[in-house]
């Protein structure tokens, strides 16, 4: 089972994720309206580019936007979870050893202690986000079964990884479960709301270009995000 998970299934899930997101990005930009979007973007490329960059980096900074500052606790949980989601898969030493073996490259690594802290923060943040969906009516009414499925899929690699990390029960079982749930995430990315891992940059760039060109940007207005 381990050889199957770390071999054919890993390559299959990675391929589906990459190809699927290339298609999603292509369809996203192809779907932009010439009348509403592309004409303005083509006419004012410099202002559009500045708006796109400003939109992306401000939303990547904790409390860098009005929206984040208006919901400080939710913003803290959001960034706590997403820091773990991004940093642990890419920079955990065990993952990099795996990437070097399977893909022929690796990235710089973070310490086990740092990874542990990020994992606990991510899990606590995710539980808070789940509780928020249960408690707040305005959020609960917008949450359907697919959203709960995405949350469970997102949580599974963390929970299985931590159970393997701390030696709870059978290590072989939990490490295989960790690999499998990680591959399920890869498979789900192009077909669910997890696609925002990549589409975030596309949508924020588009909105930034809108505000940079059509909603005061040409007059020098700094958008109060």
pLDDT per residue, tens digit, the chain (225 aa), is: 878 888 889 999 999 999 999 999 888 888 776 666 555 566 777 777 888 888 888 888 888 777 788 888 888 998 999 998 889 988 888 888 888 888 888 888 888 889 999 999 999 999 998 888 888 888 888 888 888 888 889 889 999 999 998 888 889 999 999 999 999 999 999 999 889 888 888 888 888 877 777 665 555 555 544
- Please give the DSSP secondary-structure letter assigned to residue 64: -
The answer to the question of residue 100 being in a domain is no
Number of domains the chain contains: 1
Residue 15 belongs to domain spanning: 2-61+144-215
> 205 and 52 in contact (C-beta within 8 Å)?
yes
The answer to the question of residue 105 being in a domain is no
CA atoms within 13 A on the CB side of 103: 13
Residue 202: partners with Cβ closer than 8 Å, 6 or more residues away? 25, 28, 29
Q: Residue 108: its pLDDT value, please?
A: 85
> 66 and 58 in contact (C-beta within 8 Å)?
no
The answer to the question of residue 46 being in a domain is yes
The answer to the question of residue 9 being in a domain is yes
Q: Residue 56: its pLDDT value, please?
A: 86
* Residue/partner pairs of 30-34 with CB below 8 Å, 24 or more apart: 32/206
Q: How many helices (H) and strands (E) does the chain have?
A: 12, 0
Q: Residue 66: its pLDDT value, please?
A: 78
Q: Residue 50: its pLDDT value, please?
A: 81
Q: Residue 224: its pLDDT value, please?
A: 43
The answer to the question of residue 53 being in a domain is yes
The answer to the question of residue 67 being in a domain is no
Burial class (CB in 10 A: 0-12, 13-18, 19+), 81: buried
Q: Residue 167: its pLDDT value, please?
A: 85
Residues in the chain: 225
> 27 and 195 in contact (C-beta within 8 Å)?
no
Q: Residue 177: its pLDDT value, please?
A: 94
The answer to the question of residue 149 being in a domain is yes
Please state, in angstroms and rounded to a whole number, the distance separating the CA atoms of residues 20 and 51: 28
The answer to the question of residue 78 being in a domain is no
């Amino acid at each position: 089972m381990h050889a199957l998970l770390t071999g054919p299934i890993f390559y299959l899930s990675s391929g589906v994720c990459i190809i699927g997101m290339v298609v999603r990005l292509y369809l996203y930009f192809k779907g932009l309206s010439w009348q509403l979007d592309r004409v303005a973007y083509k006419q004012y490329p410099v202002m559009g580019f500045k708006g796109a960059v400003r939109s992306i980096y401000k939303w990547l900074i904790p409390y860098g936007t009005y929206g984040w500052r208006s919901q400080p606790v939710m913003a803290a949980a959001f960034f706590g979870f997403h820091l773990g989601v991004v940093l642990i898969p890419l920079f955990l030493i065990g993952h990099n050893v795996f990437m070097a073996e399977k893909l022929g490259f690796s990235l710089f690594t973070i310490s086990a202690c740092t990874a542990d802290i990020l994992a606990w923060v991510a899990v606590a943040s995710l539980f808070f986000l789940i509780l928020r969906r249960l408690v707040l009516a305005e959020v609960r009414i917008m949450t359907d079964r697919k959203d709960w499925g995405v949350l469970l899929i997102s949580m599974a690699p963390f929970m299985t990884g931590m159970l393997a990390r701390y030696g709870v029960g059978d290590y072989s079982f939990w490490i295989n479960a960790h690999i499998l749930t990680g591959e399920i995430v890869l498979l789900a990315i192009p077909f669910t709301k997890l696609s925002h891992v990549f589409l975030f940059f596309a949508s924020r760039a588009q909105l930034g270009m809108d505000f940079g060109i059509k909603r005061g940007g040409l007059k020098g207005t700094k958008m109060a995000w």
